[in-house]
């Protein structure tokens, strides 16, 4: 298995632009998680899905952030409009069950100028 | 409000010696704990976990200890090797809910 796949690996954009991050979870995993890593706050959960349904989005910072999972093999995290304080590394992870081990993708490093 | 805390941002250890990474938590409802390892430009990778019904779990050179009364867990690496140099995150979970991560400890194993 290729593991969790994220794209793009790096994204540089200007303030006000829309940003879409993509994730393909490991096949057969029922749970998908989006995390953000910053120096100040470490790894924070933004939202997670179970069987394509959002379960907990309490970590989504504000309405500019949205996430979708249209099917079991694809999810997106969108920021519109983006702001410089959104600059961070965004990780997607998937798991067979929870509690349990989560498998992380390589992350997308987002820079908003 | 950080529910999982790693108070040591960095640790340096000589090759062959023991590395001890510490983690404290505040939420007594946490019942599952995990350690992840992260190399630069990669996502965290799972190392070892422990359920709250146990106080020790061992896997190769990694051992995790859980002290529920102190709300403290630790990861022991014996022997430490240069390839173990990475950032280590502890994480905690309640039932089916999300993982709370610490801010990480950067381990450097000196050859």
3-state SS, A20-89, equals: EEEEECCCCCCEEEEEEEECCCEEEEEEEEECCEEEECCCCCCCCEEEEEEECCEEEEEECCCCHHHCEE
Distance from CA of A107 to the nearest CA of B (A): 6
Weakest-pLDDT range from A61-65, A94-98, B2-6, B79-83:
A94-98
What is the average per-residue pLDDT within A25-33? 94
What is the average per-residue pLDDT within A45-61? 92
Chain B residues with CB inside 8 Å of A48's CB?
98
Q: Which residues of A74-107 are buried (b: 16+ CB within 10 A; e: fewer)?
A: ebebebeebeeebbbbbbbbbbeebbebbbbbbb
Chain A residues with CB inside 8 Å of B99's CB?
33, 45, 102
Taking CA atoms, B73 is separated from B14, B33, B54, B69, B103, in Å, by 22, 8, 11, 11, 15
Residue B13 has pLDDT above 70, yes or no: yes
Strands, E assignment, chain B: 4-5, 10-14, 19-25, 32-38, 45-51, 56-59, 62-67, 72-77, 86-93, 100-101, 105-110
Dihedral pair phi/psi, residue B100, rounded to 5°: -110, 125
- State the best of A99, A100, A105 to mutate against chain B, taking most chain B CBs within 10 Å: A99
Q: Supply angle C-alpha B19, B98, B72, rounded to 5.
A: 35
Would an 8 Å CB–CB cutoff place B88 in contact with chain A?
Answer: no
Weakest-pLDDT range from A61-65, A78-82, B74-78:
A61-65
What is the average per-residue pLDDT within B47-73? 96
pLDDT of amino acid B96: 66
The dihedral formed by the CA atoms of A58, A62, A66 and A72, expressed in degrees to the nearest 10: -20
Residue A40 has pLDDT above 90, yes or no: no
Asked if A105 lies within 8 A of B43 by C-beta distance, the reply is yes
Asked if A98 lies within 8 A of B93 by C-beta distance, the reply is yes
The fraction of chain B above a pLDDT of 90, given in percent, is: 88
Would an 8 Å CB–CB cutoff place B95 in contact with chain A?
Answer: yes
When the pLDDT of each residue in chain A is averaged and rounded to a whole number, the result is 93
Instruction: Please give the residue of chain A at the shortest CA–CA distance from B101.
Output: A43
DSSP B26-54: --TT--EEEEEEE-TTS--EEEEEEETT-
Q: How confident is the model at residue A84 (pLDDT cuts 50, 70, 90)?
A: very high
pLDDT of amino acid B99: 83
pLDDT of amino acid A1: 62
């Amino acid at each position: 298995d290729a593991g969790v796949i994220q794209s793009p690996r790096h994204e540089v954009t200007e303030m006000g632009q829309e940003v879409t991050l993509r994730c393909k979870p490991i096949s057969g995993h029922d749970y998908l998680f989006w995390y953000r890593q910053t120096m100040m706050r470490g790894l924070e959960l933004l939202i997670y899905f179970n069987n394509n349904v959002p379960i907990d989005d309490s970590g989504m910072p504000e309405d500019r952030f949205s996430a979708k999972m249209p099917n079991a093999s694809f999810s997106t995290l969108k920021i519109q409009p983006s702001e410089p304080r959104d600059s961070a590394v965004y990780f997607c992870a998937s798991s067979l069950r929870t509690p349990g081990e989560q498998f992380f993708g390589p992350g997308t490093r987002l820079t908003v100028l | 409000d950080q529910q999982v805390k790693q108070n040591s941002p960095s640790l340096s250890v000589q090759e062959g010696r023991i590395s001890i990474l510490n983690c404290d938590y505040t939420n007594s409802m946490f019942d599952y704990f995990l350690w992840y390892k992260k190399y630069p430009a990669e996502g965290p990778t799972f190392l070892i976990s422990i359920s709250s019904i146990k106080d020790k779990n061992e896997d190769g050179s990694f051992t995790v200890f859980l002290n529920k009364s102190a709300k403290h867990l630790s990861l022991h690496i014996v022997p430490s090797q240069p390839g173990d140099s990475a950032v280590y995150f502890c994480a905690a979970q309640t039932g089916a809910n999300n993982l709370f991560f610490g801010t990480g400890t950067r381990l450097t194993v000196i050859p």
